[in-house]
A and B are shown apart, each in its own frame.
Chain A
């Protein structure tokens, strides 16, 4: 059992409420997944060829200021770091592969959680409440976010096995359920040179969809193929730079409920984690059907 949550705000004035609304959703779903948790938040994309890199240091003490200064000096590019405890978001104009290589050489213990123009990602082991406090989820601002609370059923409880999973840029996925054929998907993708970081089943789904998008599919088209390729039980909630997308398998035995108002669309495993949202009594509340792709787009004025 796991919990998934997602929230997309429809008006610029509500961006600052994103974390305050989403954080209680995530904490409430800690009942479904107390092992680990994670949250990916999307905000205004950075421009000028820059990228954001979410970094995770785990138990290792990292001097983030020193890292910022070293990166700036050695890469010869603009580098800014915003640290929260053992996570940091590094924004730079350096080339993505160059930065990856630099991090691997200079800070081999750091984990790169996400790359993109819009995405910041936090995940760790522990109860969602602890993570929400540690990383101040309640103060996050942005256009949309997805979160996950994990009760591990098929692979280890480590920060790397926590959700959201990412692949490529500005794409992440959370999953409630279990896949039956992650290894065959993995073998297919590895033959194409796609590298995996864990043995987790969800990572196979994430990399499969990102591979389809890298071949030119939209996320929705990738999911059509995913519904054929992925065998197992799943409610998948995904986000890209400007979208929140949900799909459930044919059996639809992993829960999902959506609530939509003029101000937001909110998704959760259970309604009780939405009960605190403003205007929820008048929201359109529905249970997403099986094998249907639900997609919500950030309004263009918000995409920046």
Chain B
């Protein structure tokens, strides 16, 4: 499936058709989903989040559908329970931030910093993500089915991110641990000042950042890619990806720099 590379553009030319079912991860309850309509319920996103944090499990809810999200911020941020939250539309900034255990699915686009600092669980965006997707994420899996904008995976600390489309400039900047898989193209400055996170790109890389370098793809890379692509629902051949790692030349003070002080 080829994609039209257009830096920063959030819409896709070819709709993604994940080869595997979109849902996996925490066990799903058979109980009927509970709808929370943000257009009708009092208290807005704050009331929703308080219920999700404190009362949803007690009330026996395991699957919650959030209706009329209308781009509001902080939806389903700070969850720490094996809930399945489905957001029926576009969400705003910081959706599913700090997520632990829960599976959050957004049936649309998201604004800045989706799943920032997430710790575990799965966050899946069916559309595009604006900048800083998965920023500082420690663990779990973040899937963006279409494009992610600039600074995707900035300061990554262990989270795995799979982007079905392309990523914008300065993605994986200072990424310390974890994985960024890009099925489309990467804009300039990819992996600048990279630490120990690893980046895989299937399409064109429009410029690596300082200290990022292409490295040979080994058996462990194939294994990791096979697993992540499978979990994310993309049927791409792992061998078609390039591996980007850190040259580690920025790690330590260098004796040749002594004259600078």
Contact = CB atoms under 8 A, between A and B. Distances in A.
Contacts of B8: 252, 287-290, 292
- Chain B contact residues: over half helix, strand or loop, or mixed? loop
A180 B154 CA distance: 25
A253 interface: yes
A189 interface: no
Nearest to A272: B71
Most buried by B among A284, A285, A287: A287
Interface string A260-286: 000000000011111110000100111
B9 A274 contact: no
Contacts of B93: 270
B116 interface: no
A271 B114 CA distance: 14
B90 A285 contact: yes
A255 interface: yes
A16 B175 CA distance: 50
22 contacts: A251-B150, A255-B130, A257-B111, A270-B92, A270-B93, A270-B111, A271-B71, A271-B90, A272-B71, A272-B72, A274-B71, A276-B70, A284-B11, A285-B90, A286-B9, A287-B9, A287-B130, A289-B8, A289-B9, A290-B168, A290-B169, A292-B7
Contacts of A251: 150
Nearest 3 CB-CB pairs, A to B?
Answer: A289-B8, A272-B71, A271-B71
Interface residues of A, number: 21
Interface in B238-254: none
Contacts of B89: 281
B17 to A, nearest CB: 19
A289 B6 contact: yes
B112 interface: yes
B198 interface: no
B230 to A, nearest CB: 29
A92 to B, nearest CB: 43
Given A286-B11, A287-B8, A271 B169 contact: no
Given A270-B71, A275-B70, A275-B71, A287 B10 contact: yes
B167 interface: no
B131 interface: yes
Nearest to A271: B71
B128 interface: yes
Nearest to B72: A272
